[in-house]
Amino acid sequence: MKVPIGKIAIGIMLLLSAGFVLTLLVAADNQQSVDADNEEYKPSAASWALPENVTFAGEPLPLQNFDTRESLDRELNATAYRHGSTLLTIKRAGRYFPEMEKILNEYGIPDDFKYLACAESDLSNVISPAGATGFWQIMENTGKEAGMMINKEIDDRYNLEKSTRFACEYFKKAYARYGSWTMAAASYNNGFSGLSEQVEIQNEKNYYDLLLNEETARYVFRIAALKLIMSDPSMYGFEVRESDLYRPIPFKEVTVNTPVPGFEQFARQYETNYKLLKFLNPWLRKPFLTNSEGREYTIRVPEKDARTAEGL
């Protein structure tokens, strides 16, 4: 019986392919054995160990409870392996934390709340799908109710000082309501009505014992994870030198109580440019300021050498 030449060729190719795959598998297995014996071998992903004790705003997380430990473990590993975003947040902290820390201290709010802003926005002026805006992710109606100016030309939610003060006022009210900084933080995510409803339904005032929607249930743990990583980046695989951190931009303040026809010309008057002026004042939403009511605005103007590394 004659076997077609084509079938013989296919059979030979299959045998060669199988042999090649087997060779690769043996080689990979041998390499794993070598790596396992090598003290320098590090897996591409490893679970980060939890500290013995963790606190938020001076209040301990009950890590003796499995659900608390697993919730923190989830956020710690997720945040540690969210390399690019977490690294940039660490760098931005060098620029923005000093001002935020000063305001938090002024209001008597625990310093750990600066990590809440990191959880909200990665320290950037982002806008959520729901419209929450800025470092502290403030909704338009909520901001207006608190006295923030929000219109086509001005949006205080982009103003780091004013938005941080808004957040501090909220945290003070929340603490007075719940008697817990942890619950105050949770309410920032879920709102007074949402969190209070669950407190009443479950007859429970402890955040760690409440059954909440997934976002709020993860919220404080994500803040705690950011605190752990940003307080000691190298412990979690982030090698960040002091020189890698973004530095605060030196500026002086100029008071304006008249219309500004164009901020390009305004910037030139102070030996800077439109781009840098808007970088320091993202709350100015237009290239001009009508100011028909003669309101007084404080505008930050970068120092002459602020743009260069030497100027910092």
Tokens 């501090």, located at residue: 168
pLDDT digits (tens, 9 = 90+) for 218-243: 999 999 999 999 999 999 999 999 99
Return the half-sphere exposure (C-beta side, CA atoms, 13 A cut-off) of residue 119: 26
pLDDT attached to residue 45? 74
Higher-pLDDT residue of 280, 21? 280
Residue 99 reports pLDDT greater than 90 = yes
Cβ neighbours for 69, distance < 8 A, ≥ 6 positions apart = 50, 63
Phi and psi torsions of 118, nearest 5°: -65, -40
pLDDT digits (tens, 9 = 90+) for 140-197: 999 999 999 999 999 999 999 999 999 999 999 999 999 999 999 999 999 999 999 9
Geometric angle at alpha carbon 144, from 139 and 148, rounded to 5°: 100
Give the whole-angstrom CA distance, residue 208 versus residue 59: 11
Q: 235: which 2 tokens?
A: 């412990």
Task: Supply the mean pLDDT for the chain.
Answer: 89
pLDDT digits (tens, 9 = 90+) for 60-88: 999 999 999 999 999 999 999 999 999 99
